[in-house]
């Protein structure tokens, strides 16, 4: 039932902006410019009858307690109902759960015209109540770690959070944001604000800028913004059958919680086909009639899918008000994002995007994404299907810029076609909205928002356009010396390997390179404590062609509680010796630095029998467990 409880909680926020965390400081912070933060979907507290004896919080209530109550009260019937559900007979179970589910979602219902069925109030919402120091006193933060980190840099009395009724669409909430900003400027006496939006909040910020302009805004940062929605939404609304990408979903959950347990093992014992079918039936039974009246849901449908889905599902004549507003969003705002951003920049508004990529959407359609929003929807870039590249013959987008400076090292992204080619940063393996989980990305976000130190992707050797996630659940991170992250040059005589884990020690079990004849000198007996790094020598022959993709894989063994776990991570690098990249790469070509020696080179260090037998033992266990489960014998998972 624990799994069911988590599924129920998950379904209450189909498209969410996940909380985020870490600590950073930005240099040269401009003083006296208030910061307005707009959080993601489902982030605000909402109430009915607030301030009366009948007061009830209708969102952000403790769903887990309600699930426990239902399970405890209905346990005998639920056991029988679950048995029926395993063979596709869901009605009995859903009939049992219906009163409990409705208790959670009833006051969230909207009328056919997109207005709230109940008198729902946002609280906190006023400028005074949503200043960070006030939120701290309430012990409430719509996106806890993002606000905490912004407050650490800008000051908690200078950071504000505009809360929104996330059921409403972009036109309505852009007005709410405009009213909030006007009130804030009047109360503080400031002339302008710095503005950050995350996920759905980024979509609202973009809509606000389109409708009301940027005259009141200094810097804008959009973190994982849903600028053109998410392909998850039309897939769910249309009833199209989906297969959840459980491994990616579990990694997203793992990164979100910073829990380093081996969740991937769960995929060996669950029945994905059953869970997919159950989720689809659950959504259809309880949530489709709820979502159909949400303007926000319709605005999260990508432009290319919107008209057909609108004509299919909103053809009864009852939803004209929703259609009018969502048509305006799609055809006047979403369709003109690039032009809007270009106009804002010409007016002096500094606007930037930071997005994650390289993971499957949770519905498993093999789209490169941050797990929740397609990268193409977030950034407008040209993006290869997950598991493929743009191809060796790919010519690049014709955007008046040299495509080479905007191609990812793994060959999957051409940023030149994006909404902001010169002001979008891409973070490989970063999940949705989790930039504040990482010190480096936190520093990037706060520096972009609070200073003018990084005008574009070319000027900072610390923040090239393509970065790699350092979330602790990604195991290891590695980078070559004497160049910017994601690059490799003839001056890169060393590779630094960092154990990202906050909990487990690890040993490097092998370093493999493809795309260049490189070998690495290291000791396989070196134990890296959590957070510790080691530097290894690099030898070999480099490619003869600039801007050639090179892949490096670091295999390692993580010392879990009871069972050492072999793992590995692959990162891509661009090789270059191009003088034109001097403003990107930290290279002193006159320093006489030692170049990588050419010719054959052997791995230094001794062969490790320990890690070899750990790896063999682990895979023998996995194979045996699968066989035993196949014949019906339950196998207890090791505590790792």
Q: Which pLDDT score, from 0 to 100, does residue 80 have?
A: 53
> Which has more pLDDT, 559 or 178?
178
Q: Which pLDDT score, from 0 to 100, does residue 562 have?
A: 62
Report the C-alpha gap between 25 and 29 in whole angstroms: 9
Q: Which pLDDT score, from 0 to 100, does residue 586 have?
A: 36
Least confident of 3-7, 145-149, 537-541, 560-564: 3-7
Q: pLDDT digits over 243-255, tens only?
A: 888 778 878 888 8
Q: Average pLDDT in the 457-468 region?
A: 89
Beta bridge partners of 57: 47
How would you classify residue 35: left for phi > 0, otherwise alpha for psi between -120 and 50, otherwise beta?
beta
**Domains observed in the chain:** 1-43+127-381+418-469 (3.40.50), 475-613 (2.60.40)
What is the SS3 string spanning 226-274? Answer: CCCCCCHHHHHHCCCCCCCCHHHHHHHHHHHHCCCCCHHHHHHCCCHHH
Q: Which pLDDT score, from 0 to 100, does residue 9 have?
A: 40
Residue 574 has pLDDT above 60, yes or no: yes
Tokens linked to 298: 């319709």
Determine how β-strand 565-575 pairs with β-strand 548-558. Answer: antiparallel
> Which has more pLDDT, 95 or 468?
468
Report the C-alpha gap between 407 and 412 in whole angstroms: 8
Least confident of 84-93, 166-175, 491-500, 505-514: 84-93
CB 145 within 8 A of CB 20: yes
Q: Which pLDDT score, from 0 to 100, does residue 84 have?
A: 56
Residue 354 has pLDDT above 50, yes or no: yes
Q: Where are the beta strands (DSSP E) in 404-493?
A: 413-414, 424-428, 466-468, 476-480, 487-488
Quickly count: other Cβ atoms within 10 Å of residue 72's Cβ.
10
Report the C-alpha gap between 175 and 97 in whole angstroms: 38
> Which has more pLDDT, 94 or 507?
507
Residue 462 has phi, psi (to 5 degrees) of -80, -30
Which residue is listed with tokens 């928002």? 449
Q: pLDDT digits over 101-121, tens only?
A: 888 889 999 999 999 999 999
Q: Which pLDDT score, from 0 to 100, does residue 247 have?
A: 77
Q: Average pLDDT in the 78-100 region?
A: 65
Least confident of 161-175, 254-268, 411-425: 254-268
Mean pLDDT, all residues of the chain: 81
> Which has more pLDDT, 403 or 269?
269
pLDDT category at 279 given cuts 50, 70, 90 is confident
Report the C-alpha gap between 366 and 311 in whole angstroms: 27
Residue 288 has pLDDT above 50, yes or no: yes
Q: Average pLDDT in the 236-240 region?
A: 86
Residue 636 has pLDDT above 50, yes or no: no
Residue 542 has pLDDT above 50, yes or no: yes
CA 192 to chain centre: 29
Least confident of 217-226, 583-592, 630-639: 583-592
Q: Which pLDDT score, from 0 to 100, does residue 625 have?
A: 58
Q: Which pLDDT score, from 0 to 100, does residue 29 have?
A: 56
Which 8-state DSSP code applies to residue 512? E
Q: pLDDT digits over 1-13, tens only?
A: 333 333 334 333 3
Residue 566 has pLDDT above 60, yes or no: yes
Q: Average pLDDT in the 588-613 region?
A: 40
Among 299-303, 313-317, 471-475, the range of highest mean pLDDT: 299-303
Q: Please state the length of the chain.
A: 640
Sign of CA dihedral 481, 25, 460, 473: positive
Q: Average pLDDT in the 282-310 region?
A: 93
Q: Which pLDDT score, from 0 to 100, does residue 483 have?
A: 84
Beta bridge partners of 195: 36, 220
Residue 605 has pLDDT above 80, yes or no: no
Q: Which pLDDT score, from 0 to 100, does residue 86 have?
A: 56
Q: Average pLDDT in the 503-510 region?
A: 92
Instruction: List the strands of the sheet with 517-521, edge to edge.
Output: 476-480, 494-499, 533-541, 517-521
User: Model-level pTM?
Assistant: 0.84
Residue 263 has pLDDT above 70, yes or no: no
């Amino acid at each position: 039932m624990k799994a069911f409880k988590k599924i129920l909680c998950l379904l209450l926020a189909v498209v969410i902006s996940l909380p985020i965390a870490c600590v950073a400081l930005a240099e040269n912070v401009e003083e006296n410019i208030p910061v307005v933060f707009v959080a993601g979907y489902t982030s605000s507290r909402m109430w009915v009858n607030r301030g009366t004896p009948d007061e009830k919080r209708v969102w952000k209530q403790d769903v887990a307690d309600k699930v426990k109550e239902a399970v405890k009260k209905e346990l005998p019937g639920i056991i029988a109902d679950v048995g029926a559900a395993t063979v596709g007979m869901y009605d009995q179970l859903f009939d049992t759960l219906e009163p409990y589910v409705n208790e959670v979602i009833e006051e969230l219902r909207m009328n056919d015209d997109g207005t709230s069925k109940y008198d729902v109030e946002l609280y906190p919402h006023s400028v005074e109540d949503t200043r960070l120091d006030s939120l701290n006193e309430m012990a409430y933060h719509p996106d806890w770690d993002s606000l905490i980190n912004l407050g650490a840099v800008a000051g908690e009395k200078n950071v504000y959070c505009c809360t929104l009724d996330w059921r409403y669409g972009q036109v309505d909430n852009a007005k709410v944001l405009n009213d909030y900003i006007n009130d804030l400027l009047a109360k503080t006496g400031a002339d302008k604000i710095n503005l950050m939006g995350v996920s759905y909040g980024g979509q609202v910020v973009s809509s606000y800028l389109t409708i009301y302009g940027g005259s009141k805004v200094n810097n804008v940062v959009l973190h994982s913004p849903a600028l053109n929605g998410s392909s998850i939404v039309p897939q769910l609304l249309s009833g199209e059958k989906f297969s959840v990408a459980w491994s990616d979903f579990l990694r997203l959950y793992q990164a979100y919680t910073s829990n380093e347990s081996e969740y991937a093992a769960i995929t060996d014992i669950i029945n994905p086909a059953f869970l997919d079918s159950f989720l689809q039936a659950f959504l259809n039974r309880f949530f489709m009639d709820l979502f159909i009246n949400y303007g926000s849901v319709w605005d999260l449908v990508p432009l290319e899918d919107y008209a057909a889905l609108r004509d299919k599902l909103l053809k009864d004549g009852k939803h004209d008000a929703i259609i009018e507003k969502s048509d305006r969003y799609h055809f006047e705002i979403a369709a003109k994002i690039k032009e809007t951003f270009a106009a804002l920049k010409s007016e002096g508004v500094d606007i930037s995007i930071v997005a994650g990529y390289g993971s499957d959407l949770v519905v498993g359609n093999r789209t490169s994404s941050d797990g929740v929003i397609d990268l193409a929807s977030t950034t407008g870039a040209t993006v290869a299907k997950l598991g493929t590249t743009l191809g060796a013959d790919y010519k690049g987008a014709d955007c008046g810029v040299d495509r080479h400076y905007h191609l990812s090292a793994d060959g999957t992204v051409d940023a030149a076609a994006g909404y902001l080619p010169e002001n979008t940063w891409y973070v490989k393996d970063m999940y949705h909205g989790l930039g504040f989980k990482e010190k480096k990305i936190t520093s990037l976000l706060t520096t972009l928002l609070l200073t003018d130190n990084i005008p574009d992707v070319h000027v900072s050797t610390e923040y090239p356009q393509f970065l790699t996630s350092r979330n602790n659940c990604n195991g290891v991170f590695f980078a070559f010396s004497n160049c910017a992250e994601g690059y490799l040059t003839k001056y890169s005589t060393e590779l630094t390997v960092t154990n990202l884990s906050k909990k487990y020690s690890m040993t490097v079990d092998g370093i493999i390179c493809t795309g260049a004849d490189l070998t690495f000198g290291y000791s396989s007996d070196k134990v890296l404590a959590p957070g510790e790094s080691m530097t290894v020598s690099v030898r070999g022959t480099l490619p003869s062609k600039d801007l050639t993709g090179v892949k490096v894989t670091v295999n390692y063994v993580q010392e879990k509680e009871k069972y050492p776990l072999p793992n590995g991570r692959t990162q891509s690098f661009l090789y270059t010796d191009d003088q034109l990249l001097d403003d990107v790469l930290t290279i002193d070509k006159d320093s006489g630095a030692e170049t990588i020696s050419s010719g054959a080179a052997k791995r230094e260090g001794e062969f490790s029998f320990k890690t070899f037998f750990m790896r063999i033992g682990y895979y023998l266990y996995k194979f045996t467990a699968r066989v035993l489960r196949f014949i019906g014998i339950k196998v207890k998972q090791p505590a790792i």
